[in-house]
Structure 1
Amino acid sequence: MISPQLNKLEHNMALSLSISTLLWYLLGRAFIVTLFLGGTVFLDLPKTFLMPDIRLVFLLLLTFFQICFSLLWLLRWQNHLRQFVQFQLVWDLVLSVLTVYVTGGTASLFSFLFIFVILSSALMATRTDVMVTVAASVVLYGGLVDLQYYGYIQVAPEVLEMTQTDIFYRLFLNVTAFLLAGFLGTILAGRLRRSEVLLQQERHDYAELERLNRTILQNIPSGLIVVDHSGFIRSFNSAAASICGVDVSKAIRRSLEEVFPQLVLTEMALPVERGELEYVKPKGEKRVLGYNALSFSDLQEHEAGTLITFQDLTETKRLEQHLQLGERLAAIGKLAAGLAHEIRNPLASLSGSVQLLAEQGGLNKSDQNLLDIVNRETTRLNRLLGDFLVFARPRIPEKGTCSMKNLIGEVYDLAKTDPRFTEVQLEIIIREDRLLQLDSGQIHQALWNLLVNAAQFSRAPKKIVIGFDATQRLVWVDDNGPGVNLDEKKKIFEPFYSSRPEGTGLGLSITHAIVTAHNATIECVENNWGGARFQINFSADDDTL
């Protein structure tokens, strides 16, 4: 059952012939006319004493003139192709009937030219045009036979007279051939057009599907790589290029081992593989990737290659580490807060007793030194417990409108007067101010802790830069120290962890707790000097309205 849409498309194809098709049609007609009429003229020369039949020569010249005219029409009036085809069919019918008349009428062997015309109409015109062409062929050939039979026209004298039965028989055969040619030509041409329509639809659907697939592949956030059975990359989407830091043009047709040296697929026929790997970009940046590899087959069920999808898990892993650290800190803080209070009470009694002994006097120098040591250490221990309680039970931020430029300036001014920063070159980078909703006291303490930490680890000549990026709501502190290795980064914000023997390991932990309480994030990365950069990224919720 042929759908109406398919019939409409078929009809439209009959009306929308290409210029190349019509050019081939004109060349084919020139070949057929030259072959048959030219051959007839050449074979007829001995009978006419080397003088060809002038009528055949005239038909040849007229045909070539018509072909030249048709070429000019085709080149200048390309928007009237249907009229062009109808004109060609009319001319072919006229040429056919004249050729039959000149070559003997009913005795002519060229009546098959009408069949060529009918088949041409079936291939190039609509069904209505085909029926008109068949009817015109029957009328023209039948009229020629009748006119010859009743003596209204004279054919070549050398043609033998034919009986009424012979004439009727030839007329019957040719008319039947015309009708059959029209019927079969219409059916075959219809099937051909339907096949072309279906092929065109399939090509269109395939192009749409390919465009859709290409759009999906280029816009999905996951990286996608297709590797053939030889291990060479056949497809590499834009997400894969962004994650790997490799241009698509430089990845295609390269070996997977060159682009992904950390990913080893020993056999392409393995089942689904999942895993994680550490990928190093061409610029040296390390990223954690999660991948999934799946083998696929071709139409013959032969192993064709492997489809690899992967995602950048670096940020996810970092957030997981911060979450785990927060959970550990919360547990430690809850447990240790009570213990700190229990230690602080007897410590206060001890400190008071030492002060009473010192006030009584009468101690020798050795005993006085011992009391000074006890007093100094109890004071230090009391300060340590105070810091730990700040860390264990952080105060809820009391947010207010805060100018980041002024806040950083206050921390900078404080550092300029602190003895620990005497030999440190301090620098501020703030191109634009921004107002944020923050607890200025807590953020002041967090930045101060970062500056003190930077001063402790900087190397001579010591240099520290504190900066603020208003667009990204990012504060950073750079130092020119040795930097922080990967193992230290995992533990650097944990309480009581310090790489310095005299360090308490609470400064960065308190800073982390303050930043977390502000729904911000803090991380340690390597700066351009090879030292450490601690950067705090405030959320958009902290913007002032």
Structure 2
Amino acid sequence: MFLNWIDSTNNRIVLIRLVITTLLFGSSAVIYYMNGRTRVALYLIFVIAVVYLLSLIYLVLKPSILKHKTFIDAIQIFFDIVLSSIVIIVTGGIGSPFIFLFALIVIYTNIIFSSRIVSYGLSFLLAIVLLLIVVSKPRIFHSDKSYEIRLQASAQIDQQSLVSTYFNLAGFLLAAVLSGYLSEKARLARQELGQSEKSLNVLKNLNENILKSLDSGVITLDLKGIIISVNRMSKEILNLDSDEELLNIDIYKFFPGLNLENLISTKREQILYTTKSGHKITLGFSSSLLHGDDDETQGYILIFQDLTEIKILEDKLKNSEKLAILGQLASGLAHELRNPLSAISGAIEILSSEVEKSSDNQRLINVATQEMERMNLIVEDFSILTNPIQKAGFPVDISVILNETIDTFSKTIKRSDIDVERDIESEIYVSCDRYRLKQSFWNLFLNSMQSISGDGLIKVEAFSERQSVIIKISDSGCGISQKNISNIFDPFFTTKNSGTGLGLVIVQKVIESYNGKIDVVSAVDEGTTFIITMEKVSINAI
């Protein structure tokens, strides 16, 4: 608080005036008293008291007189001249050891007004005052019974007094010139410093705004790998609440999967990061060295981005490329298989009516018929993958489709050891093809059933959330390993002894064709949950 108080120029001058008055006049009063000059000592103490009183009045009235600052400064200088004159008169006039006080007044006048003209004029004024003191020949009676100062005017001035007055005037002018020069230099230095501080603040604000505006996270490290600064986007990407969660922490503790040495050498690296909420995101890092003014390395700068969406798009692109190749193959294959299958199907029907009705013949015909149906289903799956899915032009109620599919599935699977629970919100609509969506749900139910080896549970949930419809299909089956979970939507990928590996591929294509998305959460021996998100539409949607 005190440091803030003395930050003002006027307050500093008041403090300096009090310190000089107390030390100089106080010590002088003691010296005069010890040399038997009691009256001089008392006059000096009186001057000290007046200085303190005037300073106190100034500090009390300062808030209300700030708008008259120049006038108040002039009043202060006037009282300083009067008090200094009294001290000089009391202590011997032209022979006083305190004549230098006039020079001090000239110096701090320059500091306050920063004007050489004012200081030159004041120098002449002080010289005139000094000349008047010389002319008046002040004399203090040496009687201990009187404390009066008597002035004896004389028109005659001795040569020594005149010379002293001349040299004092020269000293005042020299002090005025020197203090004016120094004051001007100080003023220019303050201006340059102010401009430098302003430019520095502009650069600092520009730097902060650039870091705040970046869409990338920026982290700076010292040479030991300790985080020393972060920008706003770093906290957003990492889902953190404050800088303190990152600052002064070893980079390896926060990003255990990051290899700093490898990043510095290769300049780029990707890691998988888990946020506080448990969400996994892919971070892409780039790095550069942090150099000081002497061009020596002082640390490292890490720039990172959330590449999760880009990674998903890359995976989708790779999957699309696979499907494109598969589509070309499947299109030709489906076309070539349909005609032979039709011929084989017709031949089986003819044989079934002409061969002997024995149990063996009937069993063989049934096997052939079942395999024909299986081949037709495979060809149908190929057709779905190769042909674009047409969007329906009307909304369908998800709750109706799910309930119908669950009822049919429960009757078809013939497994009493599997319970199917449902928690389905009614009258939630999406825009899609009823048959395709029903087929997708069937594939997911079938996938859940095949993952359960004994007693188990399949739970189906459906609810609306803002402008989306969420469908969750969970099971208590064997789960999917982290190694395989990224491949389950790849064509022909399967961990089962039978199956084409096209079921989940078809489900993904159907859902995404209607602007939806499908996610999976799974762990070995803990079951699997498929989460489908689709756009919610009103019942009047077209």
TM-score interval w.r.t. the shorter chain?
Answer: 0.7 to 0.9
Q: Which moved more, 1:30-39 or 1:447-456?
A: 30-39
1:317 lines up with 2:303 in the alignment: no
Q: Which amino acid aligns with 2:473?
A: V
TM-aligned CA deviation for residue 155 of structure 1 = 4.2
Within the candidate set 114, 117, 121, 1:135 is matched to: 121
Extract unaligned runs of 5+ from structure 1. Answer: 1-15
In the alignment, which residue of structure 1 is the partner of 2:534? Answer: 538
1:93 lines up with 2:87 in the alignment: no
In the alignment, which residue of structure 2 is the partner of 1:500? Answer: 496
Does the Cα contact within 8 Å between 2:222 and 2:299 map onto a contact in 1? Answer: yes
Q: Which amino acid aligns with 2:102?
A: F
Does the Cα contact within 8 Å between 1:520 and 1:539 map onto a contact in 2? Answer: yes
Does the Cα contact within 8 Å between 1:272 and 1:294 map onto a contact in 2? Answer: no
TM-aligned CA deviation for residue 348 of structure 1 = 1.5
Within 5 Å, give how 1:225-304 maps onto structure 2: 225-244=219-238, 248-266=243-261, 270=264, 273-281=267-275, 285-304=279-298
CA distance in 2, matches of 1:518, 1:200: 63
Does the Cα contact within 8 Å between 2:516 and 2:533 map onto a contact in 1? Answer: yes
1:511 lines up with 2:507 in the alignment: yes
CA distance in 2, matches of 1:61, 1:383: 112
Q: Which amino acid aligns with 1:470?
A: E
In the alignment, which residue of structure 2 is the partner of 1:464? Answer: 459
Q: Given the superposition, is the C-alpha separation of residues 239 and 527 from structure 1 closer, same or farther in structure 2, using an over 3 Å criterion? A: farther
Within the candidate set 329, 353, 358, 1:359 is matched to: 353
CA distance in 2, matches of 1:432, 1:190: 85
1:145 lines up with 2:131 in the alignment: yes
Does the Cα contact within 8 Å between 2:428 and 2:463 map onto a contact in 1? Answer: no
TM-aligned CA deviation for residue 113 of structure 1 = 1.0
Does the Cα contact within 8 Å between 2:492 and 2:501 map onto a contact in 1? Answer: yes
TM-aligned CA deviation for residue 349 of structure 1 = 1.3
CA distance in 2, matches of 1:486, 1:215: 41
What is the TM-score normalised by the length of structure 1? 0.83
CA distance in 1, matches of 2:389, 2:50: 107
CA distance in 1, matches of 2:182, 2:335: 100
Give the secondary-structure state (helix, strand or coil) at the position aligned to 2:499. Answer: coil
1:328 lines up with 2:322 in the alignment: yes
Q: Given the superposition, is the C-alpha separation of residues 187 and 509 from structure 1 closer, same or farther in structure 2, using an over 3 Å criterion? A: same
Give the secondary-structure state (helix, strand or coil) at the position aligned to 1:171. Answer: helix
Does the Cα contact within 8 Å between 1:476 and 1:534 map onto a contact in 2? Answer: yes
Q: Given the superposition, is the C-alpha separation of residues 272 and 148 from structure 1 closer, same or farther in structure 2, using an over 3 Å criterion? A: same
Q: Which amino acid aligns with 2:472?
A: W
Does the Cα contact within 8 Å between 1:478 and 1:527 map onto a contact in 2? Answer: no
In the alignment, which residue of structure 2 is the partner of 1:123? Answer: 111
Does the Cα contact within 8 Å between 2:30 and 2:41 map onto a contact in 1? Answer: no
Q: Which amino acid aligns with 1:485?
A: S
1:484 lines up with 2:472 in the alignment: no
Partner deviation per Cα, 1:80-100 (whole Å, 9 max, x = no partner): 655443332121111122223
CA distance in 2, matches of 1:34, 1:497: 96
Does the Cα contact within 8 Å between 1:292 and 1:310 map onto a contact in 2? Answer: yes
CA distance in 2, matches of 1:527, 1:400: 38
Q: Which moved more, 1:258-267 or 1:68-77?
A: 68-77
Q: Which amino acid aligns with 1:499?
A: T
Q: Which moved more, 1:21-30 or 1:287-296?
A: 21-30
In the alignment, which residue of structure 1 is the partner of 2:148? Answer: none
TM-aligned CA deviation for residue 425 of structure 1 = 3.3
1:340 lines up with 2:326 in the alignment: no
Partner deviation per Cα, 1:87-120 (whole Å, 9 max, x = no partner): 3212111112222333333333322211111211
Q: Which moved more, 1:157-166 or 1:282-291?
A: 157-166
What is the TM-score normalised by the length of structure 2? 0.83
TM-aligned CA deviation for residue 304 of structure 1 = 0.7
Q: Given the superposition, is the C-alpha separation of residues 434 and 200 from structure 1 closer, same or farther in structure 2, using an over 3 Å criterion? A: farther
CA distance in 1, matches of 2:352, 2:45: 144
1:173 lines up with 2:167 in the alignment: yes
Does the Cα contact within 8 Å between 1:41 and 1:56 map onto a contact in 2? Answer: yes
Q: Given the superposition, is the C-alpha separation of residues 208 and 430 from structure 1 closer, same or farther in structure 2, using an over 3 Å criterion? A: farther
CA distance in 2, matches of 1:267, 1:496: 37
Does the Cα contact within 8 Å between 1:42 and 1:52 map onto a contact in 2? Answer: no
Q: Percent identity?
A: 26
Partner deviation per Cα, 1:124-173 (whole Å, 9 max, x = no partner): 3353xx64454244224314514743x5x644589999855434433332
Give the secondary-structure state (helix, strand or coil) at the position aligned to 2:260. Answer: coil
Does the Cα contact within 8 Å between 1:476 and 1:535 map onto a contact in 2? Answer: yes
CA distance in 2, matches of 1:346, 1:267: 58
TM-aligned CA deviation for residue 343 of structure 1 = 1.6
Does the Cα contact within 8 Å between 2:92 and 2:138 map onto a contact in 1? Answer: no
Q: Given the superposition, is the C-alpha separation of residues 36 and 120 from structure 1 closer, same or farther in structure 2, using an over 3 Å criterion? A: same
Q: Given the superposition, is the C-alpha separation of residues 517 and 86 from structure 1 closer, same or farther in structure 2, using an over 3 Å criterion? A: same
CA distance in 2, matches of 1:364, 1:68: 128
Q: Given the superposition, is the C-alpha separation of residues 416 and 84 from structure 1 closer, same or farther in structure 2, using an over 3 Å criterion? A: farther
TM-aligned CA deviation for residue 321 of structure 1 = 1.1
TM-aligned CA deviation for residue 430 of structure 1 = 5.0
Q: Which moved more, 1:283-292 or 1:307-316?
A: 283-292
**Count of residue pairs brought into register by the alignment:** 525
CA distance in 1, matches of 2:361, 2:251: 76
